[in-house]
A and B are shown apart, each in its own frame.
Chain A
Amino acid sequence: MELGFNLQALGIEWGTALMFGMLIALLLTGMPLAFVTLLVALIFALGWFGPMSIPLITSRVYSFVMNFVFVSVPMFVLMAAILDRSGIARDLFDAMKLFAGRVRGSVAIQTVFVSVILAAMSGIIGGEIVLLGLLALPQMLRLGYDRSLAIGVVCAGGSLGTMIPPSIVLIIYGLTANVSIGDLFTASFLPGFMLAMFYCAYILARAYLTPGAVPDIDPTPVPREEKLRLLKGLALPILVVFMVLGSIYGGIASVTEASAIGVGGVLLSTVLRGEFSYKLLRDAAMQTLATVGMIVWIGIGATAIVGVYNLMGGVDFVSGMITGISDNPTVIVLVMMAILFVLGAFLDWVGIALLTMPIFVPIITELGMDPVWFGVLFCMNMQVSFLSPPFGPAAFYLKSVAPPDISLGLIFRSLLPFIALQILAVGLLIAFPGITGR
């Protein structure tokens, strides 16, 4: 069958350029990301190899949806969806009041602490930002916090879910790069906390250096009984963290199974709190299906295009180009980071991981660098992608629950200092790989 166009005549250089141009142009029309990548994969499969090659795309779709490691995605989403519908996070937030102490900016600090605990329970963002947007943001605004500081803390803090283990970003990386997910989790603990501490340091700096950025300290002490009551709110979240991370590090479950243990833990918590109902579970499951459909189909589109591009010989071409840039491995890593920043502005992290990691990871290994360290670096880089405009999922999530006078433009402006902190963290990980403990 002759289709009247033969893309192969372009050669891999122009083929790559055309593919990239087509992706960007179609994306800008507002066509759903998943179908943009699927369509471009189809056009190149047809134009480069002919109709007999299209089953390659459906074969990859099949393999993608039948992957055991991917089972953790719906589990973490389900867990967050149940958490959203319970009062667990609210009580946790109240309890953290006790630890933020009587410093200036304590509610913002408290929000970061809550973020860290939520992050250690689950592996995704979205649910966490919505929760914090409903709990912490109104309180900070009411108390007179600077609006951009409050917005930034919620978005940046809520994004920590994928930086502190467990994390589906690291799980997908481990899958693509074929490195141990357990090692990735262990290596990302310290960098994740480091980033959270950067946020705290920034809050304190603003609190003590910028007049009016945060309200004055509330001098009324919390009574002892109240303290004990608040502390109870900490019990169930800690239990879930213990169940998820404990089952992985205690040798009870594989990483994928641990995500289901998290679901069990959160469900058990709602039962203990008397909040469990059939409706709660049903709504959470329906939301999970919708969210997972989005995430997985972005992955499906990306895996399709990667397969076609591989058959075209594109991966060799791109890795040749990247390694040709410099003899200095650090320069190559910096170029990779720059590519990820740019992609992160436009694409979802699932797509980025599946598109770039099959190219980047072999280069990293060949240069003698540690793929686990690189995975943590990638994960840190994806923190930026959540916040960076125009496609910043964290901002979208917050916008969906913020008061109407908070515009997307304001949210993105508020995120700039936090993006700077994330880039600083990326830089530190490159300069001092030892932070990952490797």
Chain B
Amino acid sequence: QEHSFKFQSSDPAGNPNFEFQQGWADLVAEKSEGAIEIEILPVGSVVEYNETLDAVAAGILDGQICDSSYWAGKDPAFGLISNPVGAWSDPEQMIDFVENGGGKELMQELLGSYGLQFIGVSTPGLEAFVSRVPLEGVDDLNGVKMRAPEGPVANVFSAAGASPVNLPSSEVYTSLDKGVVDAADYSVFSVNHQQGLNEIAPHPVYPGFHSLPLVEVSMNKTKWDALPDDMKTLLEETVKEFQQTQINGNREADEAALAEAEVDPNITVHNWSEEERAKFRKLGVAEWERIASQSPMAQKVFDTLTAHLQEKGMLE
């Protein structure tokens, strides 16, 4: 092959999302007729998940496939663009924003300043919420101890009256099982279900309301610039294919898991009404404004995002 790249994923080997990413690498090899070979490394294999941006910039890794909110500590704008809490209720909405609503350009501006090239976007889908206690709406979150994800999501939950607790993912299962926390942000419904979380915390909220992560595929800019144009196009096109495979694959898996959960007498799946979702979104928007004030790029993300939502009539 002419080009050989190492991309580190933020998913562990064996995770369904990791398999979809490997599928992308296979697709690239096939479409480029072996000219580009991409090796996907599991999370933590070369550097920790929250250090890959620096590693790609330094040329240690060639690229990364990861949640962009990990870079919120470098610029709050990453936190806002990757997870504007409450903005999206469907993966296609987020992808439309990135591909046609100015998101792509923002991502490139953000990543470009660190020496990275944004290739494309994907997402595992709308995350489901795991809970031991029945939650029918925002008011029920009051006083709920929950494992909160990194990033601005914790603030929104705080505003809703919940008590976010910071726990490593390896302690989520035990802590839920023993009741150290009542609820948790973890992953999409199928993954939660497969890991047994819905059994120990039998009141999942599906579809979720809190998080639809933006997963970026990006690489070292110098190495990108050295690629011929047709190869650049090929990479961008294949990411779009990978993105559709991942979203559809996870959606099917979610539906299968949901069917299983619904017949399980111990599990009650809760679905929030539109009013409750809107209430939560409102809390989210307040948080967007707070983040926007933290950096010029965050303000730019906020302006572009709200303009897009307004245009689509999604901001009432």
Contacts and interface: CB of A to CB of B under 8 A. Distances in A.
Contacts of A365: 14
Given A178-B12, A181-B170, A252 B180 contact: yes
Contacts of B6: 311
A69 B170 contact: yes
A182 B178 contact: yes
A365 B15 CA distance: 12
Contacts of B46: 56, 307, 310-311
A52 B60 contact: yes
Contact of B60 (A56, A253, A256): A56
A391 B41 CA distance: 34
B175 A358 contact: no
Contacts of A53: 58, 60
A60 B47 contact: yes
Contacts of B14: 362, 365
Contacts of A250: 178
Given A53-B60, A68-B168, A63 B51 contact: yes
A249 B175 CA distance: 9
Task: Sort chain B's interface into a size bin.
Answer: 20 to 34
Contacts of A400: none
Nearest to B172: A180
A59 interface: yes
B289 to A, nearest CB: 30
Contact of A249 (B12, B58, B178): B178
Nearest to A258: B180
Interface string A224-250: 000000000000000000000000111
A120 to B, nearest CB: 18
Given A56-B46, A253-B180, A69 B60 contact: no
A352 interface: no
A126 interface: no
A246 B222 CA distance: 55
B49 to A, nearest CB: 9
Given A55-B60, A59-B51, A180 B173 contact: yes
B231 interface: no
B120 to A, nearest CB: 24
Contacts of A179: 170
A380 to B, nearest CB: 21
B266 to A, nearest CB: 19
Nearest to A248: B178
Interface in B29-56: 39, 41, 45-48, 50-51, 54-55
B167 interface: yes
Contacts of B167: 254
Interface residues of A, number: 37
Contacts of A135: none
Given A253-B180, A311-B6, A362-B13, A59 B47 contact: yes
A174 B13 CA distance: 16
Contact of A63 (B41, B48, B175): B48
B126 to A, nearest CB: 24
B59 interface: yes
B179 interface: yes
A310 B170 contact: no
B174 interface: yes
Contact of A311 (B51, B60, B175, B179): B60
B171 interface: yes
Contacts of B179: 251
Contacts of B47: 56, 59-60, 63, 307
B177 interface: yes
B48 A254 contact: no
A254 B58 contact: no
A60 B48 contact: yes
B12 A59 contact: no
B56 to A, nearest CB: 11
A179 B195 CA distance: 11
Interface string B90-123: 0000000000000000000000000000000000
A183 interface: yes
B41 A310 contact: yes
A38 to B, nearest CB: 16
Interface in A158-199: 174-175, 178-183
Contacts of A315: 45
Task: Among B166, B167, B178, find the residue whose CB has the most chain A CB atoms closer than 10 A.
Answer: B178
A52 B54 CA distance: 12
B59 to A, nearest CB: 5
A183 B48 contact: no
Contacts of B178: 182, 248-251
Interface in A48-98: 49, 52-53, 55-56, 59-60, 62-63, 67-69
Given A182-B177, A253-B180, A362-B14, A55 B168 contact: no
Task: Among B54, B167, B171, find the residue whose CB has the most chain A CB atoms closer than 10 A.
Answer: B171
B260 to A, nearest CB: 22
The 9 closest A-B pairs by CB, nearest first: A182-B174, A251-B179, A251-B178, A63-B48, A310-B45, A180-B173, A59-B51, A59-B47, A56-B60
Interface of A: 49, 52-53, 55-56, 59-60, 62-63, 67-69, 174-175, 178-183, 248-256, 307, 310-311, 313, 315, 358, 362, 365
8 contacts: A52-B59, A60-B48, A175-B168, A180-B171, A250-B178, A253-B180, A256-B171, A362-B13
